[in-house]
């Protein structure tokens, strides 16, 4: 029996001010246990102000410097990619040597549009980053053999399917991967999950950096759910418990303000009960993950949950205000 053909892959890395991680990221891709003439690497530099582009240009890869957000950069890269399979790896991630070899066999199924690997923490020496990694790993472990969507942190997709689904939505600077995955699934395709193919992500090492990241997600999550309402019900990666947290914070704040009116003072009790429920849920979730991964430093997740909920809440407020002001129709 003839050996199956080895698919050719164009791996795309969207980078912006990623000088601390991009070199190790790209070297991990170039070190793949895969025929070197069967894959290419394209770095889409979004106009970095640091040494990101310079470091990338020192390697045997293609570097394009153009000021575009990530989905626009992916659409651009699709046009210049040489091969029918597109790989996506974040500039703050690196992959194990067999990553590509473990993923590509899944693409032989015509109904499989793409495939992703599992995620570990690159910078485990930072307690906040390690805790973020535990939470993300816990969510990914809920994925079965297939999923409707997954992050572009480490992902292979068939170019023809991306084109069939309409390409990347350039109006979503974040959450674009969830959007595309949803549209791909609507076409009858699925995305495979291969946990043995490991990607290491450089998680945000401080609360401030994490808040800034989640704020961007919060700004675009509302847009995403207006576009695909069913996503608000949650899935294995982002469950309904995460999705309703900003709304619960809004309820707490609204009831506190309304309770200023004497006749509505009972709303303070309702607000307190909602707040208590959130606290219990956050404590339970943090303890559960700390026990699961045998690391009590994961109790920091109690703080991270508040930071994420607050960032998503602020992001939703900003998006709503911009929409009402006619700036984001």
pLDDT digits (tens, 9 = 90+) for 201-248: 999 999 999 999 999 999 988 888 878 877 777 777 888 888 899 889
Whether residue 10 is predicted with pLDDT greater than 90 in this model: the reply is yes
Q: What's the mean pLDDT in 135-153?
A: 92
Q: Residue 176: which residues within 8 A CB-CB, separation 6 or more? A: 70, 71, 74, 152, 168, 169, 170
pLDDT (average), residues 56-69: 96
Q: Helix or strand or coil: residue 227?
A: helix
Mean local confidence (pLDDT), 31-49: 96
Instruction: Say whether pLDDT at 90 is over 70.
Output: yes
Q: Which residues of 152-176 are buried (b: 16+ CB within 10 A; e: fewer)?
A: bbbbbbbeebbeebeebbbebbbbb
pLDDT at 272: 96
- CA gap 66, 76 in Å, rounded: 10
List the structure tokens of 61.
């890869």
Nearest to residue 148, comparing CAs of 189, 110, 90, 96?
189
Q: What is the pLDDT of residue 329?
A: 58
The pTM (predicted TM-score) of the whole model is: 0.92
Task: pLDDT band for 1, please (50, 70, 90 cuts).
Answer: very low
Contact (Cβ atoms closer than 8 angstroms) between residue 174 and residue 216: yes
- State residue 226's pLDDT score: 78
> Does residue 4 register a pLDDT over 70?
no
Contact status, residue 113 vs residue 161, Cβ threshold 8 Å: yes
- % of the chain residues with pLDDT over 70: 98
Length in residues, the chain: 329
CATH 3.60.110.10 fits 9-205, yes or no: no
Instruction: Find the mean pLDDT for residues 128-137.
Output: 97
Read out DSSP for 249-275? HHHHHHHHHHTTSGGGTTHHHHHHHHH
Q: If 0-12 CB within 10 Å is exposed, 13-18 middle and 19+ buried, where does residue 246 land?
A: buried
**CA-CA distance, 294 to 91, in Å (whole number)?**
29
Calculate the average pLDDT of the chain: 93
pLDDT of 276 strictly over 50: yes
CA distance 70 to 56: 17
pLDDT at 44 over 80: yes
Q: Which of 41, 60, 48, 47 is nearest to 20 (CA)?
A: 48
What's the pLDDT at 197?
98
Q: Is the pLDDT score of 3 beyond 60?
A: no
- Band (2; pLDDT cuts 50, 70, 90): very low
Range picked from 4-8, 236-240, 258-262 for highest mean pLDDT: 258-262
Kindly report which listed range (25-34, 68-77, 157-166, 244-253) carries the lowest average pLDDT score.
244-253
Mean pLDDT throughout 242-262? 92
Per-residue pLDDT tens over the stretch 182-198: 999 999 999 999 999 99
pLDDT at 85: 97
Q: What is the pLDDT of residue 314?
A: 94
Beta partners for residue 45, in sequence order: 15, 65
- How far does CA 134 lie from the centroid of its chain? 15
pLDDT more than 90, % of the chain = 83
Residue 36 makes CB contacts below 8 A (sequence gap 6+) with none
How large is the average pLDDT for residues 251-266? Answer: 93
């Amino acid at each position: 029996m003839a050996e199956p053909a080895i698919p050719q892959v164009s791996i795309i890395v969207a980078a912006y001010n990623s000088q601390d991680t991009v070199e190790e990221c790209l070297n991990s891709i170039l070190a793949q246990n895969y025929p070197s003439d069967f894959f290419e690497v394209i770095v889409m530099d979004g106009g970095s102000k640091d040494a990101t582009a310079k470091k990338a240009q020192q390697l045997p890869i293609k570097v394009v410097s153009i000021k575009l957000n990530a989905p626009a950069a992916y659409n651009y890269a699709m046009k210049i990619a040489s091969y029918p399979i597109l790989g996506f790896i974040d500039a703050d991630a690196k992959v194990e040597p067999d990553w590509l070899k473990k993923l590509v066999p899944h693409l032989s199924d015509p109904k499989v549009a793409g495939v992703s690997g599992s995620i570990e923490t690159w910078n485990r020496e930072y307690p906040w980053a390690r805790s973020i990694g535990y939470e993300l790993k816990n969510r990914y472990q809920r994925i079965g053999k297939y999923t409707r969507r997954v992050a572009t942190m480490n992902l292979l997709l068939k170019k023809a399917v991306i084109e069939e689904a309409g390409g990347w939505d350039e109006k979503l600077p974040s959450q674009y991967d969830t959007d595309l995955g949803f549209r791909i699934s609507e076409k009858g395709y699925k995305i495979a999950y291969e946990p043995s193919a490991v990607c290491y992500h450089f998680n945000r090492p401080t609360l401030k950096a994490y808040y800034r990241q989640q704020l961007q997600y919060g700004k675009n999550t509302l847009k995403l759910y207006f576009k695909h309402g069913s996503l608000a019900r949650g899935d294995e990666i982002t469950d309904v418990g995460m999705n309703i947290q900003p709304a619960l914070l809004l309820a707490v704040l609204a009831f506190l303000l309304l309770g200023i009116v004497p006749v509505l003072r009972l709303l303070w009790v309702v607000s307190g009960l909602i707040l208590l429920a959130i606290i219990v849920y956050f404590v339970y979730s943090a303890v559960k993950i700390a026990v699961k991964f045998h690391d009590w430093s994961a109790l920091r997740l109690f703080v991270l949950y508040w930071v994420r909920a607050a960032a998503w809440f602020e992001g939703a407020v900003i998006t709503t205000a911009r929409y009402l002001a006619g700036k984001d129709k």
